[in-house]
């Protein structure tokens, strides 16, 4: 889930992790969930029981927090061994709304605390307030949730450099994570470098480019060369997890694939302000 990241540490159970700015360690590889057919109960249980996955990523927007509670219980994995990430949807931005939305997500997930809570998008349509004002107000609520221990770490998603710079000026706590679309066809390197310079862990979502990367001729060719699946090649390119290394000359093939192709599109201008 990271952007060409190296392992910094190993969790007690032997899973690779990265250290956040607050000292906590986040499992590098996580199981993402989504709406529009992106949730499978059996897949979640299998990932937890058979694959050693301990990082589950979801959001209120996806509508599957309650379903995840059931899957986690069925897996018999202890809460303290899990890293649970969920996200605040823009309809809940604002100080009081953010606090209540977090508690509601905890209730749906059946947990007392979140390991990571993310502001899902940089902008919201709030009458009478600028996007910057609503971001600052929302982030102050996130800071309070963090200080109360309800959220063990806090971050943002889909934030650009200007959004992060404004947050730096307006608030106290630097986001621990910025989760952004990242795959062979979409690599915002300037944003990656900026996050690293600020000690913000850059977390990539959509690593398989919604399946488009799995059928690309170059990736299929590399999968055959290494005796791996196209999905393993894509994830191995992003993070250091599996039992094989991509050679330097093969990494150059990936460099040729970058075309700044976003696969996440919305119907209102989230990237302004």
**What SS3 class is residue 142?**
helix
Residue numbering of the annotated binding site for substrate: 120
CB atoms inside a 10 Å sphere around CB 130: 11
Q: What does the domain layout of the chain look like in residue ranges?
A: 17-205+261-266
At residue 36, the pLDDT reads 66
Enumerate the active-site residues.
Answer: 62
Nearest in space to 202 (alpha carbons), one of 240, 168, 232, 157: 157
**What SS3 class is residue 197?**
helix
Q: Pick out the chain residues at pLDDT < 50.
A: 1-8, 10, 12-13, 265-273
At residue 252, the pLDDT reads 76
Residue 64's Cβ-count burial label (10 Å; 0-12, 13-18, 19+) is buried
Report whether 143 contacts 176 (CB < 8 A): no
Report whether 87 contacts 117 (CB < 8 A): yes
Residue numbering of the annotated binding site: 120
Report the sign of the C-alpha dihedral through residues 158, 162, 166, 167, in that order.
Answer: positive
Place of tokens 């102050």: 140
- HEC string of 33-87? CCCCCCCCHHHHHHHHHHCCCCEEECCHHHCCHHHHHHHHHHHCCCHHHCEEEEE
DSSP state for residue 213 in the 8-state scheme: G
Q: At the topology level of CATH, where does 17-205+261-266 sit?
A: TIM Barrel (3.20.20)
Nearest in space to 31 (alpha carbons), one of 68, 4, 73, 3: 68
d(CA 71, CA 190): 38
At residue 6, the pLDDT reads 37
At residue 65, the pLDDT reads 96
**Cα angle 115, 87, 188; round to 5:** 100
At residue 24, the pLDDT reads 97
């Amino acid at each position: 889930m990271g952007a060409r990241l190296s392992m910094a540490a190993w969790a007690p159970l032997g899973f690779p992790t990265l250290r956040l700015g607050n000292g906590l360690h986040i499992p590098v590889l996580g199981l993402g969930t989504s709406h529009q057919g992106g949730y499978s109960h059996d897949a979640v249980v299998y990932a937890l029981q058979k694959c050693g996955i301990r990082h589950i990523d979801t959001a209120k927007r996806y509508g599957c927090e309650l379903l995840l509670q059931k899957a986690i219980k069925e897996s018999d994995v202890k809460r303290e061994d899990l890293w649970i990430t969920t996200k605040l949807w823009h309809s809940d931005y604002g100080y009081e709304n953010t606090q209540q939305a977090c508690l509601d997500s905890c209730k749906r997930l059946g947990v007392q605390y979140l390991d990571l809570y993310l502001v899902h998008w940089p902008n919201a349509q709030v009458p009478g307030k600028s996007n910057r004002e609503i971001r600052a107000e929302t982030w102050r609520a996130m800071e309070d949730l963090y200080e109360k221990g309800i959220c063990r770490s806090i971050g943002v998603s889909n934030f650009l450099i200007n959004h992060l710079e404004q947050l730096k000026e307006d608030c106290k706590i630097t986001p621990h994570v910025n989760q952004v679309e990242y795959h062979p066809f979409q690599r915002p390197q300037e944003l990656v470098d900026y996050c690293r310079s600020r000690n913000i862990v850059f977390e990539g979502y959509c690593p398989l480019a919604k399946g488009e990367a799995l059928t690309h001729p170059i990736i299929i060719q590399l999968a055959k060369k290494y005796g791996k699946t196209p999905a393993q090649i894509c994830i191995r390119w992003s993070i250091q997890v599996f039992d094989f290394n991509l050679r330097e000359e093969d990494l150059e093939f990936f460099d040729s694939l970058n075309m700044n192709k976003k696969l996440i599109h919305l119907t209102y201008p989230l990237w302004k302000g």
